[in-house]
C-alpha cells in the first residue's frame, strides 16, 4: 500500500511503530510524574526550607553597652552615638577598577589608604557576609554631609549611627574601666563571651571585660528579604536590641577626683582607697593618667606609643596593681604582726633602741641618726624606730624556720595577687632564703647567700621586697578588721537603666587569719600615735584634722642615686576604721613629705571635711 | 527526479471549509490551553523583570499567541501534500536561513542564534525544525521502496546531520539534538530497518562518549566547557553553586517548594526574587511547579499528553505516507522538547537550551509550534476529507 503513497488503512508494521512511540511517551510521562511526586509531595517541606534560606537574611542591630556609674549613680562610662562610614556589600561596584576608584575617593576623604580600606572591608565581609562593613568610625559631620550630598559618586557607601564609649570625666578613673574592642576569633569560643557575634564590640580589659556579660546587651536583628543579587526587597520582621545592664561601682567619683589631684601634676605614683571590711574600692588610680576617650574608637598607634612609653611614665600602666616596690616603713605593720603572733614580743616587751644595730660587722642605723632609747611596740610604730624592727627581723630570722615575717606577709596578702577585678595585677615578691637560693641558681641573684641582713632589711620594707599599694591596703585592712583578708573589688551591683538592682555582686573575704584582738589594738594604737602624738611621724600632717587617723609613713630607698619613694597608709576613723588609704609617690622623698599630705587630702574628701580637700600639709618627719 | 509519481490524492476533494470545521478540536484545545497557561504564568512570574513595565513579556507572548493561532488556522486549510514537490527549495531555504545567522546574527550570551527583525528576534533554527520535517519526509517518501538500502539510510542521516551541525555550531546544542530526533522518528515511522536503527543508535552513543569523555581527555574541544558543564551538571547538581549546577539546584528547589498546591504567585520567592534563572524561557516549567504545585504541573503535563496523543492519532489516520511522516516528525519535535525541557527542570535530563513548546516565552518558538500544529491539523483535515469522499463514493455505489 505504501507504493502509491495512499494508505486508507494502517498497516500492522506502522501500527507497531506508532505503538512504540506511544510507549516511549507513556514511559517518559510516568518518570516525570514520579519525579514530580517525589520532589513536590514527598520532599516539599525540605525545598520550602531551602527556598526560605535563599531569601531571608538577618541584619544585626547593635545593642548599646550598659553604663558604668559610681556609687552615687553618677556616670563614669556611657555611650555616645557616632557616625560611622560603612559600605554595603550588595551595592558596591562589583570588583575591578570601579571598586578601586571608589576606595581611592573614600580614602582621600577619610584620610586612609585605599589598600587598608579594602583589607578592612574584605575581612569584615568574610566574617559577616551581609552586614555593612565599617570603613571608619566617628566621622565628622561635614565629611558625612559631603558624602551624603555626593551619594552618586559613592555607590554602596552608607553612614550609620553607632555607639561608642564615652568617658565624661576624661582622666578621672582612667585606669578603672579597661577597654572595649571587637571580639576576637579566640574569644568567640570562650564561655565568658557566649552570645557575642563576630563584629561585636566586647570588653577587652578591666571592668569592661570582667563584667562584659552584663554590660554587653543583646543585639537586635532586622530580618529582611533579599533577591538573588543580594538586593534588599523588603523587611520581614525586626527584633529590638536590648541595651546592656548598668554596672554600679563602689567608686566615689569625688574621692577619685580628689585623689588624682592630690597625687599631683607630673608625679608618678598610685593610690588606693578601700573599705576595710568588705574590700570595696572607693578610689584607685595611678599617675600619670590618660584620657580613655582615645580608646573609644581604635586608638592611633602614635597615641598608644606615647601612652606606653616609659619616658613619659607609661601612663597606661596602673601603678596601684601593676607596679611593685619596696614599701619602706609601712611594712612595719606586718613585722609587728609577725612578732606579736609569733610570740617574739608582746605589746609591752621593752627593746632598746640605741640608734643602730651591729650585726656581724654590718651597722644598721636609724634614719637621721635618731636614738629612741628603750621602747615598746606602740612607741616604735609611732616614731618609726628602725632599730626596734631590725631587732625583730634579726630575731625572726633565728626563730623556728626563720620565716615568721615572710609567712605573715603572705598571709596578709603581700607577694600574691589580691584578685581585684582589674587585669594584669602583679604578685610582687616577699624575699626568703628559698627565693634567694633559687635566684642564685638561675643566675639572676647577686650570688650572695641569704643572711640575717636580708631579714633585717625586710623587717623595715627595704631590700628585695616588692609590693604594690593595693596589697599593702589589703594587709592594713586585714589587721584593722581583725583578720579578714578581703577581696578588693570595684563592681558593686548590676542594675537596669533606671538604677534598680538586678543583682548584687558578692564580696567574699578571701580568707581569715588569726590576730589576737589585743595585738591588733596595740598596733592600731601605735599607728594612731604616729598620726596624732607629738613625735609621731605624721602627727604634724594630721594636726587639727577632725577625723581621728591611724597611719604609717614609709620611705623606700631604691639606691642607685634614685630619689626615695614616699609611702603613706592610713586607717580611719580610729579606733574602728572603715577605710584604708594607701598612697605612694615614686619620687616623693620622705613619707611625711608627699604621700601623707596626699592621703590627708583624700581623707578630707572621703569624710567630707570641708575646705580640706585642697589643703596641702607637709610633715617634717625624716624617718624611713 | 523527486517529482511525485502519483497524482495528488486530494485533487477531487474540495479544500476544507474555513473555520473550525474539519479541525481536530482536542488538539486545538490542548494548544490553546497551553498558550493560555503560559500567558497566565508569565503574568505573575515576570512582573518585576522589566522595571516600569510589568506586562512586557505577557503582552508580547499574548501577541505571539494570537498571531500563532492565526498562522495555525491558515496552515490547517492548506494541503500539506503540495509541499512535497518543493522539498529541494524547502531544504535550501532551511540551510540558508540557518547559515544567515552566521552573517547577520545577533549575539546573546555568547551564541549567535537570532536575526533582529523589526518586531521580534527571529530564530531560524526554530523554523528549521519544521522545514526539516517537510523536506526530509518528502525525501523519504521518494525512496520508500529502497529503505532497506544502507545508502538510503546514510543519505537521510546526512541530510539531517548537516543542518543539525550548523545549528550546533551557533552554538545551540539543544536545537541540533531536536533535528536528530526528528530524523530518527521520521525514519522509524517510514519503516527503516531495525538493524539500521540499532547501528545509528550505537554510533550516536559512541559520539556522545567521544565528545564528553574521550575528546577532552586527549585535548580536543568538541563541545565548549560550558556545554559539557551543562550536560553533566544533572549528575551532581550541587557540586558548584556558581556554575551550571546552580540553575538546576534553584529549579529543583523552586519545584519542590511548590508542594501539592503551589505557593501562589506572590509566595513563589524563587521566581520573584530571581533565584530561578531564565524563568520566562527555559525554566518556565519550574515556575509552574513553584506557583501552582504538583496540581499545576500535572495539568500542564496532561495538556502535553493530550497534544501528543492527538498527534500520534493524526499520524495513524493520515491519508498518505507524506502526511504520516510529517505528523511523525512533528510528534518527535514536540515530544523531544517537552521531555528534555521538563526533564531538565527536575534534574533527570542534561541542561540544554530547549524551549518548552508554547509555554516558554519567545516568538520564534511559539510561531513554529503553532505552525507545526497547523500542519498536523492540515494532515487531519485532508484525512477527514478523503474519508468523507470515500463514504460518498460508497453511498453512490
Residue B19 has pLDDT above 90, yes or no: no
pLDDT for residue B110? 66
Q: Decide if pLDDT at A251 tops 90.
A: yes
pLDDT score for A443:
81
Closest CA relative to residue A253, chosen from A279, A283, A281: A283
The mean pLDDT value for A54-81 works out to 86
pLDDT of residue A490: 92
**In the structure, what pLDDT confidence band is assigned to residue B235 with cuts at 50, 70 and 90?**
low
Compare B18 and A210 and report the one with higher pLDDT. Answer: A210
User: How far does the CA of residue A290 sit from the closest CA of chain B (Å)?
Assistant: 53
The answer on pLDDT for A1 being more than 60 is no
Q: How would residue B254 be classed by pLDDT, with cut points 50, 70 and 90?
A: very high
> Does the CB of B252 have a partner CB in chain A at under 8 Å?
yes
The full DSSP string for A260-300 is: HHHH-TT--EEEEEEETTT-BEEEEEEES---GGGGSSPPP
At residue B253, the pLDDT reads: 92
Q: Suggest the residue from A16, A24, A40, A56 to mutate for an interface test with chain B (most B CBs closer than 10 A).
A: A40
Higher per-residue pLDDT: A196 or B284: B284
Residue A210 has pLDDT above 70, yes or no: yes
Question: Which CA distances in Å does B81 have to A436, B318, B382?
Answer: 118, 11, 9
Split at pLDDT 50, 70, 90, the class of B237 is low
A216, pLDDT greater than 50: yes
Q: Are B319 and A7 in contact (CB under 8 A)?
A: yes
B13 HSE (CA, 13 A, CB side): 24
Mean pLDDT throughout A82-88?
83
pLDDT score at A76:
93
Specify the pLDDT at position B1.
36
Average pLDDT value for residue range A478-497 = 92
Check whether B230 has a pLDDT greater than 80: no
- Bridge partners of residue A555, in order along the sequence: A566
Predicted confidence at residue A228, as pLDDT, reads: 72
Is the Cβ pair A7, B320 closer than 8 Å? yes
Domain boundaries along the sequence of chain A: 58-249, 253-606
Provide, rounded to the nearest whole percent, the portion of chain A with pLDDT above 70.
96
pTM listed for this prediction: 0.66
Contact A52 B189 (CB under 8 A): no
- Extract the C-alpha cell encoding B317: 489516520
Among the listed residues A221, A223, A224, the one whose alpha carbon sits nearest the alpha carbon of residue A240 = A221
pLDDT (mean) for B91-105? 90
Helices B284-317 and A12-36, packing angle to 10 deg: 170
Residue B343 has pLDDT above 70, yes or no: yes
CA distances (Å), A11 to each of A17, A144, B258, in order?
10, 86, 45
Q: Is the pLDDT higher at A312 or at A248? A: A248
Q: Which residue of B has its CA nearest to A28?
A: B339
CA distance A237 to chain B (A): 17
A52 pLDDT above the threshold of 70: yes
Determine the distance in angstroms separating the CA of A35 from the nearest CA of chain B, rounded to an integer: 7
Rounded to whole angstroms, the Cα distance separating A422 from A205 reads 7
Query: Over 90: is that where the pLDDT of A273 sits?
Result: yes
Tell me which residue in B191, B253, B335 faces A13 most closely, judged by beta carbons.
B191
| Chain B residues near residue A6 by CB distance under 8 angstroms | 6, 9, 319-320
List the 133-162 stretch of B: residues with Cβ below 8 A of A.
141, 144-145
Is the previous residue joined to A231 through a cis bond, with omega within 30 degrees of 0?
Answer: no
The interaxial angle of helices A332-341 and A469-480, nearest 10 deg, is: 40
Q: A253-606: same fold as A58-249?
A: no
Q: Is A227 in Cβ contact with B320 (below 8 Å)?
A: no
The more confidently predicted of residues A88 and B187 is B187
> Using 50, 70 and 90 to split pLDDT, how confident is the model at B105?
confident
Residues A101-115: what's their mean pLDDT?
85
A9, pLDDT greater than 60:
no
Residues A558-592 pLDDT 10s: 877 889 999 999 998 989 999 999 999 999 888 88
For A218-250, give the DSSP string.
Answer: B-EEEEEEE-TT--EEEEEEEE--BPPPEEEES
B179: CB partners within 8 A, 6+ apart? B128, B129, B132, B160, B163, B164, B167
Grid cell of B83 as nine digits: 509541499
Judged by CB atoms closer than 8 Å, whether chains meet at B324 and A32 is answered as: no
Reported confidence tier of residue B10, pLDDT bands at 50, 70, 90: very low
Mean pLDDT of chain A: 87
Tell me how far apart the alpha carbons of residues A524 and A569 are, in angstroms, rounded to a whole number: 12
In this predicted model, what pLDDT tens digit does every residue of A295-311 receive, in sequence order? Answer: 887 777 888 888 888 88
Q: Specify the pLDDT at position A618.
A: 82
Q: What integer pLDDT is reported at residue A406 of this predicted model?
A: 94
Looking at residue B16, its pLDDT comes to 46
**pLDDT surpassing 60 at residue A455:** yes
Q: A58-249: which CATH topology?
A: Penicillin-binding protein 2a (Domain 2) (3.90.1310)
Helix (H/G/I), strand (E/B), else coil: A492: strand
A-B CB pairs within 8 A amount to 148
Decide if pLDDT at A238 tops 50: yes
Q: Please give the average per-residue pLDDT across A118-126, as a whole number.
A: 80
Beta-strand relationship, B121-122 and B111-116: antiparallel
CB count in 10 Å sphere of residue A132:
23
* Element containing residue A491 per DSSP (H, E): strand A491-495
Which residue of B185, B317, B346 is in closest CB contact with A36? B346
Higher pLDDT, residue A235 or A526: A526
First to last CA, chain B: 38
CB proximity B391 to A under 8 Å: no
- Give the single-character DSSP code of B359: T
pLDDT at A7 over 90: no
Q: Report whether pLDDT(B8) > 60.
A: no
ipTM reported for the complex, 2 dp: 0.90
pLDDT in tens, A350-382: 999 998 898 888 888 888 788 888 999 999 999
Q: Is the pLDDT score of A458 beyond 90?
A: yes
Q: Residue B378 has what pLDDT?
A: 94
Q: pLDDT-based confidence at B12, cuts 50/70/90?
A: very low
The residue with cell 566617628 is: A138
Average pLDDT, chain B: 87
Residue A559: what pLDDT? 77
The predicted pLDDT at position A163 comes to 85
By mean pLDDT, which of A173-187, A240-254, B122-136 is the weakest?
Answer: A173-187
Q: Of the candidates B259, B308, B346, which has its C-beta nearest A44's C-beta?
A: B259
Indicate the angle between helix axes B150-168 and B87-104, nearest 10 degrees: 30
A326 alpha carbon, distance to own chain's centre:
24
Peptide bond into B171 cis (omega under 30): yes
Distance CA B240, CA A460 (A): 76
CATH of A253-606, one of 3.40.710.10, 1.10.10.60, 1.10.150.240, 1.20.1250.20: 3.40.710.10
pLDDT tens-digit map of A383-433: 999 999 999 999 998 888 889 999 999 999 999 999 898 888 899 999 999
Amino acid at each position: 500500500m505504501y507504493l502509491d503513497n495512499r494508505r486508507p488503512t494502517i498497516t500492522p508494521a506502522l501500527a507497531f511503530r506508532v505503538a512504540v512511540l506511544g510507549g516511549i511517551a507513556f514511559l517518559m510521562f510516568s518518570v516525570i510524574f514520579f519525579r514530580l511526586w517525589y520532589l513536590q509531595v514527598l520532599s516539599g517541606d525540605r525545598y520550602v526550607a531551602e527556598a526560605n534560606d535563599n531569601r531571608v537574611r538577618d541584619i544585626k542591630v547593635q545593642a548599646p553597652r550598659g553604663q558604668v556609674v559610681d556609687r552615687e549613680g553618677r556616670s563614669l562610662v556611657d555611650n555616645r552615638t557616632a557616625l560611622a562610614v560603612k559600605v554595603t556589600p550588595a551595592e558596591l561596584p562589583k570588583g575591578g577598577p570601579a571598586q578601586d576608584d571608589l576606595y581611592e575617593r573614600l580614602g582621600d576623604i577619610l584620610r586612609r589608604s585605599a589598600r587598608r580600606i579594602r583589607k578592612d572591608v574584605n575581612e569584615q565581609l568574610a566574617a559577616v557576609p551581609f552586614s555593612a562593613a565599617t570603613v571608619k568610625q566617628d566621622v565628622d559631620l561635614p565629611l558625612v554631609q559631603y558624602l551624603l550630598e555626593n551619594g552618586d559618586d559613592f555607590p554602596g557607601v552608607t553612614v550609620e549611627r553607632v555607639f561608642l564609649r564615652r568617658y565624661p570625666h576624661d582622666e578621672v578613673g582612667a585606669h578603672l574601666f579597661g577597654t572595649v574592642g571587637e571580639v576576637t576569633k579566640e574569644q568567640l569560643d570562650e564561655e565568658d563571651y557566649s552570645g557575642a557575634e563576630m563584629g561585636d564590640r566586647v570588653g577587652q580589659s578591666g571592668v569592661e571585660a570582667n563584667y562584659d556579660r552584663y554590660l554587653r546587651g543583646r543585639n537586635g536583628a532586622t530580618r529582611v528579604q533579599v533577591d538573588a543579587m543580594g538586593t534588599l526587597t523588603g523587611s520581614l520582621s525586626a527584633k529590638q536590641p536590648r541595651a546592656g545592664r548598668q554596672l554600679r561601682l563602689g567608686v566615689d567619683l569625688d574621692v577619685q577626683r580628689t585623689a588624682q589631684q592630690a597625687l599631683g601634676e607630673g608625679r608618678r605614683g598610685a593610690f588606693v582607697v578601700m573599705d576595710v571590711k568588705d574590700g570595696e574600692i572607693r578610689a584607685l588610680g595611678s599617675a600619670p593618667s590618660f584620657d580613655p576617650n582615645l580608646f573609644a574608637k581604635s586608638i592611633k598607634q602614635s597615641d598608644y606609643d606615647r601612652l606606653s612609653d616609659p619616658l613619659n611614665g607609661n601612663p597606661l600602666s596602673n601603678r596601684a596593681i601593676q607596679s611593685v616596690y619596696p614599701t619602706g616603713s609601712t611594712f612595719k605593720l606586718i613585722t609587728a604582726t609577725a612578732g606579736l603572733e609569733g610570740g617574739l614580743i608582746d605589746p609591752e616587751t621593752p627593746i632598746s633602741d640605741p640608734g643602730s644595730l651591729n650585726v656581724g660587722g654590718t651597722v644598721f642605723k636609724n634614719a637621721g641618726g635618731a636614738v629612741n632609747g628603750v621602747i615598746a611596740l606602740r612607741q616604735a610604730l609611732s616614731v618609726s624606730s628602725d632599730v626596734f624592727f631590725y631587732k625583730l627581723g634579726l630575731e625572726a630570722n633565728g626563730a623556728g624556720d626563720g620565716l615568721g615575717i615572710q609567712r605573715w606577709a603572705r598571709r596578709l596578702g603581700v607577694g600574691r595577687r589580691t584578685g581585684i577585678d582589674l587585669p594584669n595585677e602583679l604578685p610582687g615578691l616577699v624575699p626568703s632564703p628559698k627565693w634567694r637560693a633559687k635566684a642564685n641558681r638561675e643566675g639572676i641573684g647577686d650570688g650572695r647567700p641569704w643572711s640575717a641582713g636580708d631579714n633585717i632589711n625586710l623587717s623595715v620594707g627595704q631590700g628585695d621586697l616588692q609590693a604594690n599599694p593595693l596589697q599593702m591596703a589589703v594587709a592594713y585592712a586585714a589587721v584593722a578588721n581583725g583578720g579578714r583578708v578581703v577581696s578588693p573589688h570595684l563592681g558593686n551591683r548590676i542594675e537596669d537603666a533606671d538604677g534598680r538592682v538586678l543583682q548584687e555582686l558578692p564580696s567574699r573575704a578571701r580568707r581569715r587569719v588569726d590576730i589576737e584582738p589585743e595585738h591588733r589594738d596595740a598596733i592600731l594604737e601605735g599607728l594612731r600615735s604616729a598620726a596624732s602624738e607629738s613625735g609621731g611621724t605624721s602627727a604634724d600632717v594630721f594636726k587639727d584634722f577632725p577625723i581621728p587617723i591611724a597611719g604609717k609613713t614609709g620611705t623606700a630607698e631604691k639606691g642607685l642615686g634614685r630619689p626615695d619613694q614616699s609611702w603613706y597608709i592610713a586607717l580611719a576613723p580610729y579606733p574602728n576604721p572603715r577605710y584604708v588609704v594607701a598612697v605612694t609617690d615614686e619620687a616623693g622623698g620622705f613619707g611625711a613629705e608627699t604621700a601623707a599630705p596626699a592621703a590627708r587630702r583624700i581623707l578630707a574628701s572621703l569624710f567630707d571635711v570641708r575646705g580640706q580637700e585642697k589643703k596641702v600639709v607637709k610633715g617634717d618627719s625624716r624617718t624611713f | 527526479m523527486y517529482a511525485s509519481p502519483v497524482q495528488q490524492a486530494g485533487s477531487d476533494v474540495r479544500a476544507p471549509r474555513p473555520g473550525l470545521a474539519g479541525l481536530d478540536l482536542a488538539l486545538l484545545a490542548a494548544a490553546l490551553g497551553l498558550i493560555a497557561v503560559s500567558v497566565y504564568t508569565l503574568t505573575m512570574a515576570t512582573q518585576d523583570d522589566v522595571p516600569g513595565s510589568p506586562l512586557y513579556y505577557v503582552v508580547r507572548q499574548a501577541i505571539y499567541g494570537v498571531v500563532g493561532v492565526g498562522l495555525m488556522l491558515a496552515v490547517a486549510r492548506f494541503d500539506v501534500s503540495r509541499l512535497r514537490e518543493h522539498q529541494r527549495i524547502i531544504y535550501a531555504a532551511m540551510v540558508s536561513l540557518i547559515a544567515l545567522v552566521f552573517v547577520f546574527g545577533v549575539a546573546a550570551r555568547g551564541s549567535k542564534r537570532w536575526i533582529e527583525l523589526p518586531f521580534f528576534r527571529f530564530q531560524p533554527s526554530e523554523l528549521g525544525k519544521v522545514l526539516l520535517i517537510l523536506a526530509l519526509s518528502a525525501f523519504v517518501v521518494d525512496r520508500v521502496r529502497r529503505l532497506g538500502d544502507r545508502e538510503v539510510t546514510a543519505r537521510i542521516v546526512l541530510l539531517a546531520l548537516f543542518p543539525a551541525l550548523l545549528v550546533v555550531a551557533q552554538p545551540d546544542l539543544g536545537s541540533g539534538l531536536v533535528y536528530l530526533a526528528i530524523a530518527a522518528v521520521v525514519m522509524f515511522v517510514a519503516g527503516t530497518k531495525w538493524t539500521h536503527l540499532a547501528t545509528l543508535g550505537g554510533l550516536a552513543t559512541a559520539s556522545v562518549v567521544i565528545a564528553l569523555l574521550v575528546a577532552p581527555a586527549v585535548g580536543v574541544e568538541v563541545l565548549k566547557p560550558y556545554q559539557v558543564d551543562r550536560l553533566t551538571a544533572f549528575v551532581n547538581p550541587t557540586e558548584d553553586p556558581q556554575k551550571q549546577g546552580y540553575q538546576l539546584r534553584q529549579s529543583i528547589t523552586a519545584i519542590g517548594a511548590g508542594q501539592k498546591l503551589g505557593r501562589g504567585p506572590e509566595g513563589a520567592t524563587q521566581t520573584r526574587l530571581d533565584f530561578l534563572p531564565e524563568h520566562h524561557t527555559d525554566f518556565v516549567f519550574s515556575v509552574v511547579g513553584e506557583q501552582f504545585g504538583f496540581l499545576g504541573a500535572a495539568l500542564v503535563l496532561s495538556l502535553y499528553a493530550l497534544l501528543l496523543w492527538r498527534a500520534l492519532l493524526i499520524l495513524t489516520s493520515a491519508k498518505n505516507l507524506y502526511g504520516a511522516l510529517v505528523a511523525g516528525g512533528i510528534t518527535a519535535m514536540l515530544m523531544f522538547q517537552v521531555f528534555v525541557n521538563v526533564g531538565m527542570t527536575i534534574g533527570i535530563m542534561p541542561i540544554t537550551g530547549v524551549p518548552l513548546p508554547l509555554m516558554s516565552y519567545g516568538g520564534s518558538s511559539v510561531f513554529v509550534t503553532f505552525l507545526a500544529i497547523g500542519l498536523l491539523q492540515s494532515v487531519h483535515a485532508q484525512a477527514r476529507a478523503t474519508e468523507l469522499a470515500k463514504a460518498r463514493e460508497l453511498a453512490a455505489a
